[in-house]
Structure 1
Amino acid sequence: MKKIALFLLILSGIITSCKKFLDTKPTDFIVPEQYYNTEQQLNEALAGVYSSLTTVATYGLQQNFYLVGTTDESYYKLSTTSPHPLYYNITPAEPRTSNTWNDLYKGIDRANYLLANINKPAMDEQRRNAIKGEALFLRAYMYYLLVTQWGDVPLLLTPTVDGRQVNNPATPAKDIYNQVYNDMKTAKDLVNDYTTNGTPVHVSKTAVEAMLARVCLKMAGEPLLDVAKYTDARAWADSVIQSHVHSLNPDYKQIFINENADQFDNAYKEVLWEIDFYGNNIGALQAGGRWSIYMGVRNTDKDIGYSYGYQGATGYLYKLYSAGDLRRDWAISPYNFLGNSGTTKVLVVPTDAYSRNEGKWRREYETVLPRNTEFSPTNYPIIRYSDVLLMFAEADNEINGPTARSFDALNMVRRRGFGLSVTTPAVSVSVVKDITLSATGNTGYLKTVATIPVTLSGGGGTGASATASVSTTTGKVTAIAISNPGLGYTSIPTVTVGTPWQPNTSYPAGTQVFNGNNLYTVATTGSSTTTAPTQTSGTSDPNLTGIGFTYAGAKATGTASIATATVDLNGLSQAAFRTAIRDERARELCFEGIRKFDLIRWGIFIPQMKMIEADMNANLPASLKYAVREYTNVSEKDKLFPIPTLELSLNSALQQNPLWK
């Protein structure tokens, strides 16, 4: 990433002179004729192409959030009447979409310059080919982003050497998809393998194959409906699987903790390709991203990690997860920060899914200090191995109906979601589903303590744990959330809220303990005797109980429920398997910028969005009702963005997308 940032300074000087300057030899900037002469300069130019995907208009913020963030899994958690892509109420003059268009074409032009000059320096041919392959792939990927979001766009495959040549007609989307496919296929044989690269920052052979599978699935769906591409998608995904280079990290949450900490998982290599951000933008190197600050849990505390908390989870997504699926409470944060400022976490009432935020990337795991309020070193995953498995299963099902291999690929992803071995068949799991507070009791808890421990015992299972949240205004327990559902429960376990009184134990003043159904607050620091407090008013006699225990109220109690969830899916019909894959992609890949593209290629984008509209009208809390507008506004034209107004004014050969005229 340091090389990429350095090259941005160099690249800013690589410009094309106008005619009146042709007789003037530049002395303060680099022109293309003076560059690309050494292997180092080729690598710096390649870093510049990669950096095109780190701008605010691309994966620095807009491409993975503003342009694709409102779907059936997530919504924009900001009340505004201003035009915004996430509200589906923009015009062709919308600056955010225009900026993304412009930055993608800038990146394409950088790639074209590099490819046009790739043979200039004398160097090792294998290293030259790797640079060529990466540049070819990156250009293809940027065209993939353009064609999937704007449809027919100009296809430029040579450098922009004359600023007057601006009238470039749009190329039909089908031809662009074919160019993307062919360029990626060529790049696959030129780039290095993952082991040679050593990290997922540079694209590798398997990363290219994985992206080829994604491109083929898109071509098989809307708008092309080239169903023959399912065969190619299956083959490319299978090639990644058969390479045995990549595997699933057994701990789902660790994937995203690693990206927060700017660490690469070279043990499992689950992330095949990710966008690399670096540092905290304090000092000369400005290479951080902004996206994780917009997508996290709202918090105004800069030390734990400032976040706007603009991405909310839908109730639909929340309900897709079965009891015991550990991914739910990692992807959808089960807590908010107290007062939105500080390190104290307050549990969200489990039934109110819409009040939760995206929680995959949590700024408290960042290791670069001090944490910047606007920039983060968190890396962004473009494609993961779990996606490859699900793409293989989807393509295999469309070609053959569900087979043993497609079931196995799907089930591996599901097993990891439940915290099980991915290679061991698992019919079902019995877990603690939730805990319901009793209607009686529940008074006198300290308003300064946001959470208290909960223990579960018995029931024949292991591993279940929970936490209770205390209101800072009423001093009552308001919710009990399962932090780990455990495994193997055959009967309902006993729920214990808080800390029980113990004999001969040292207690600090202010500690709260219970004995029976009574809650007590320790009056002064000291040790208990073997005599427990039992009074229901006042303070116990220290001569009897060792220290004074002041009666605080009635202890909160709760009752657990257990559930059995299906893990391995087998015996489904082709149609049922298709639905299972679509649901699993939401559970596994939510908030990773893929869902909108999936819904469109499946031909269900508008129906799904209108289904969410109805669900929101019925279930949104009053304070969030503004979000319904996002789903009311969406229509067929929103499958593509409008061609930017400025681009149309400069390029007379280009026409506006039909539904945007």
Structure 2
Amino acid sequence: MKKQLSIFAIAAAGLFSSCSKFLDRQPLSQVAPDQYFNNDNEQKFYLNSFYSAFPSAEGVYNEDIDNVVKQSLSDQVTGRRTVPLTGGNWTWTELRKINYYLDNYNRVMPQVQVNRFAAVAKFFRAYFYFDKVQRFGDVPWYTNAIDYQDKESLTKPRSPRKVVVDSIIADLDFAIANMDVATFPQSTEMVSKYTAMALLSRVCLFEGTWKKYRNEAGWEALLEKSVAASQQLMSTGLYKIYKSTPSKAYLELFASIAPNKDEIILARTFSNELSVWHNVNYYTITSSYGKPGLDKELVNSYLMADGSRFTDIPRYDTITFYGETQNRDPRLAQTIRTPGYSRIGTNNPLVPDFGASVTGYQLIKFVTDMSFDSYNRSINSMPIFRYAEVLLNFAEAKAELGTLTQADINASIGLLRERVAMPNLDLVAANGNVDPYMAAQYPAVTGANKGVILEIRRERRIELVMESHRWNDLMRWKSGQSVVRQFKGMYFPGAGQYDLDRDGKIDVYIYTGNKPDPAVAGVQYFKLGKDIELENNAGNVLINRTTTKTFQENRDYLQPIPIQERQLTNKVLTQNPNWNDGL
């Protein structure tokens, strides 16, 4: 474990960073190709530098689109994004490193011996370009490191999106075919052919649904490719859904220090010994990071424990906290504080702390025991690819294609439900009784499989919350309007005293006029209209009520290209539609 951890530590420290964000610089401290890549160790040592491309822990858990909301909202959500002067994720350093390697890795060693190393590099090139496609759409496709005198390449126009995606798929196909399992054994900290299968499943689902919901040709072949990649990984038998007890298994998976090798395909790992930490405990228990909390719409989406719909209950929207958390999908109580919750390693019940959660639905996913509560001292692992996502990809792609069967559901969604002892999804019932609550969220979903597609989206949102999939899911589904609704928290029927967990003690006191005196220890006091705002003074907590949110359908599904990239670096680059940069 320490050896693999050190690989990520080396990458994070930037020991193999290139000298510039531009494509025209010599990388890796003047590594000379004729004097390097002479043996396996030199090949692997260079490849280790690519791992810095993966998201940090914060890049995984710090989700703030519409699943998790905070005191302040991101520019993506408010519609306040502008065309940046520089930066804006239009950076190419990692590609330069990768292509430099692919230009030179086989100069000394026989091709047949180094294909397994090239496979790793092509995986990272695919990962790099997939990120760019999700952000910008068309981008220049480069297969070689560019010399600073190569003006033709440096001023290359944007390649069509289809060309880039086809090239990503080709790189991943090569990676799957050539990664050597003996050389790169199953590991949660090193990419493998199984990681490449998972990424191919993700890429093709994204692009297939992107095309389908924009009425573009070719979506069926992409979704079929996603299904095939998912099935290829599923058929290996190497991965399964982690299970212990239904009331703990989901929470345990994300609180684990070491990645669970049954389910985690690739993860970032952390260590006290190596002084490599992250900040998730502090993030969830203090007010320092915007007081993150689940949004009411997502809380409403969790099914009842018997598989029925919470939103079918009469006046579900006026049920207070204790009532709405009873007999629900066990993942709810393993994602937020619910009555009876206590920290790992203690028996001290805790109610939600509005000082740390603006909605009152306080996050506990990824939260470990109190010994890691100090600033930047968490060491539990962070999943980058896990088997649950692959199963969700498989089910969604087949549902969108119209080829989903109950047997397919049993082999995918059924396994996720089984972890928490939830009834399985029934294909016929889902399509025969479409949930109006889900249908209102995703009006673009139509057809014979409308019901089951909506149920798979429900499952995906619940299972993958806080793992930073939500923005890209909304973009590929053409559901950008989801972010402009009013975000809400718990329901309170007005000013008064509230016992959130019904232990006989008051937890929240919402008052008008002067604050009650004397204050009672342990009670959270809020002045109505000042410290807390309720819908019509008797309803859900309102978050950022006065913040205007917009999503421009003809613009905001893609990011803008920075001004200086088009003005100075490469004048043939076109801007994404309806982003006005003055050029």
TM-score, normalised via structure 1 length = 0.62
Within 5 Å, give how 1:15-26 maps onto structure 2. none
- Aligned: 1:92 with 2:10: no
Counterpart in 1 of 2:507?
none
> Are positions 1:328 and 2:332 aligned together?
yes
Q: Distance in 2 between matches of 1:178 and 1:249?
A: 34
For residues 91-121 of structure 1, what are the alpha-carbon distances to aligned partners after superposition, in whole Å with 9 as ceiling and x for unaligned?
22287xx36432xx22222211222222134
After the TM superposition, which residues 218-229 of structure 1 pair with which residues of structure 2 at under 5 Å, given as runs?
218-223=206-211, 224=216, 226-228=218-220, 229=222
Deviations 1:520-568 (A, max 9, x none): xxxxxxxxxxxxxxxxxxxxxxxxxxxxxxxxxxxxxxxxxxxxxxx65
Alignment-derived partner of residue 211 in structure 1: 199
Which residue among 290, 296, 300 is the counterpart of 1:315?
296
2:400 aligns to what?
A: 398
The code of the aligned residue for 1:265 comes to N
Distance 1:373 1:297 in 2: 11
CA-based RMSD: 4.1
Q: Which residue of 1 aligns with 2:462?
A: 587
| Mapped partners of 2:378, 2:416: distance in 1 | 31
Is 1:379 paired with 2:367?
A: no
Q: Which residue of 2 aligns with 1:264?
A: 259
DSSP 3-state at the match of 2:293: strand
Aligned pairs for 1:42-441 within 5 A:
42-53=43-54, 58-62=55-59, 64=60, 69-71=64-66, 73-75=67-69, 77-79=70-72, 84-85=75-76, 87-93=78-84, 98=87, 100-102=89-91, 105-122=92-109, 125=112, 128-162=114-148, 165=151, 166-193=154-181, 197-223=185-211, 224=216, 226-228=218-220, 229-251=222-244, 254=249, 257=252, 260-266=255-261, 269-274=262-267, 276-279=268-271, 287-289=276-278, 292=280, 296-299=283-286, 308=289, 310-324=291-305, 325-334=329-338, 346-348=350-352, 354-364=359-369, 373-374=375-376, 376-419=378-421, 426=423
| Cα distance in structure 2, aligned partners of 1:380 and 1:370 | 15
Aligned-residue offset at 1:70: 0.7
What CA distance in whole angstroms lies between the structure 1 residues aligned with 2:53 and 2:22?
22
Is it true that 1:659 corresponds to 2:578 in the alignment? Answer: yes
8 Å CA contact retained: 2:231, 2:394: yes
AA matched with 2:265: L
Q: Please list the CA deviations of residues 133-178 of structure 1 after superposition, one character each: whole Å capped at 9, or x if unmatched.
A: 1110111011101111121222222113327744332122222111
Indicate how the Cα distance of structure 1 residues 163 and 317 shifts in structure 2: closer, same or farther if over 3 A, else same.
Answer: farther
Q: Deviations over 1:174-216 (max 9, x none)?
A: 2211111111111111124499523222222232222212211
More strand by proportion, 1 or 2?
Answer: 1
Letter aligned with residue 38 of structure 1 = N
Distance 1:109-1:358 versus aligned 2 partners, 3 A rule: farther
Cα distance change of structure 1 residues 85 and 16 upon mapping to structure 2, 3 Å threshold:
closer
2:42 equivalent in structure 1 = 41
Residues in 1 aligned to 2:44 and 2:259: alpha-carbon distance in whole angstroms: 21
Name which of structure 1's ranges 193-202 and 155-164 shifts more when overlaid on structure 2.
193-202
Contact 2:360 2:489 in 1 (8 A): no
1:443-464 Cα deviation digits (max 9, x unpaired): xxxxxxxxxxxxxxxxxxxxxx
Counterpart of 2:464, as a letter, is L
Any residues of structure 2 matched to 1:483-562 within 5 Å, and which? none
CA 1:322 to 1:111, structure 2 compared with 1: closer, same or farther past 3 Å? Answer: same
Contact 2:352 2:362 in 1 (8 A): no
> 2:533 aligned to 609, 617, 622, which one?
622
Question: Residues of 2 paired with 1:163 and 1:259: CA distance?
Answer: 49
Change (3 A) 1:52 1:625: same
Identity of aligned residues (%): 22
In structure 2, distance between residues paired with 1:415 and 1:354: 27
CA distance in 2, matches of 1:99, 1:385: 31
SS in 1 for 2:178: coil
1:645 equivalenced with 2:563 (yes/no): yes
Question: What CA deviation, in whole Å up to 9, does each residue of 1:11-30 have, x standing for no partner?
Answer: 247679999x99xxx9x944
In the alignment, residue 223 of structure 2 is paired with which amino acid? Y
Matched, 1:609 2:467: no
For residue 645 of structure 1, what is the amino acid of its counterpart? I
Post-superposition offset of 1:411: 4.3
The code of the aligned residue for 2:196 comes to V
Change (3 A) 1:371 1:576: closer
C-alpha displacement of 1:345? 6.1
Distance 1:409 1:179, change over 3 A: same
Cα separation, 2, equivalents of 1:645 and 1:40: 42
Aligned with 1:622: secondary structure?
A: coil
CA distance in 2, matches of 1:11, 1:178: 29
Q: Which runs of 5+ in 1 are unaligned?
A: 301-306, 421-425, 428-566
Letter in 1 for 2:578: L
Range with bigger deviation, 636-645 or 173-182: 636-645
- Residues 318/18 of structure 1: CA separation in 2 closer, same or farther (3 Å cut): closer
Q: Give the 3 Å change call, closer, same or farther, for CA 358–616 of structure 1 in structure 2.
A: closer
**Which letter does structure 2 place at the counterpart of 1:652?**
K
Q: Secondary structure at the match of 2:81?
A: coil
Asked if the contact 2:78/2:550 (under 8 Å) is kept, the reply is yes
Specify the alignment match of 1:519 in structure 2.
none
Aligned equivalents of 1:336 and 1:32: distance in 2? 62
Q: Which amino acid aligns with 1:279?
A: S
Contact 2:299 2:332 (8 Å CA) reproduced: yes
Give the alignment partner of residue 577 of structure 1, picking from 442, 452, 459: 452
Contact 2:360 2:490 in 1 (8 A): no
TM-superposed deviation, 1:384: 1.9
Structure 2: any 5+ residue segments left out of the alignment?
306-328, 432-448, 493-528, 535-540
> Superposition pairs for residues 446-457 of structure 1, below 5 Å?
none
Distance, in Å, in 1 between the alignment partners of 2:142 and 2:22 is: 20
Counterpart code for 1:40:
N
Instruction: Letter of the 2:238 partner, please give it.
Output: V
1:596 counterpart = 2:471: yes
User: In 1, are the aligned partners of 2:176 and 2:196 still within 8 Å (CA)?
Assistant: yes
Counterpart of 1:632? 549
Shift of 1:655: 2.4
Instruction: Indicate the structure whose relative CO is greater, using CA pairs within 8 Å and at least 6 residues apart.
Output: 2
Report SS of the residue matched to 2:7.
helix
SS of match in other structure, 2:107: coil
Contact kept? 1:210, 1:388, Cα under 8 Å: yes
Structure with larger Rg: 1
Aligned length: 474
Asked whether the 8 Å contact 1:293–1:308 carries over to 2, the reply is: no
CA distance in 2, matches of 1:255, 1:124: 44
For residue 273 of structure 1, give the secondary structure of its aligned residue in structure 2: strand
| Amino acid in the other structure paired with 1:49 | F
Q: Given the two structures, how large is their TM-score scaled by the length of structure 2?
A: 0.70
Question: Is the Cα contact below 8 Å between 1:277 and 1:289 reproduced in 2?
Answer: no
SS in 2 for 1:272: strand
Task: Determine if contact 1:213/1:391 at 8 Å carries over to the other structure.
Answer: yes
Amino acid at match of 2:90: W
| 1:31 and 2:41 are equivalent in the alignment | no
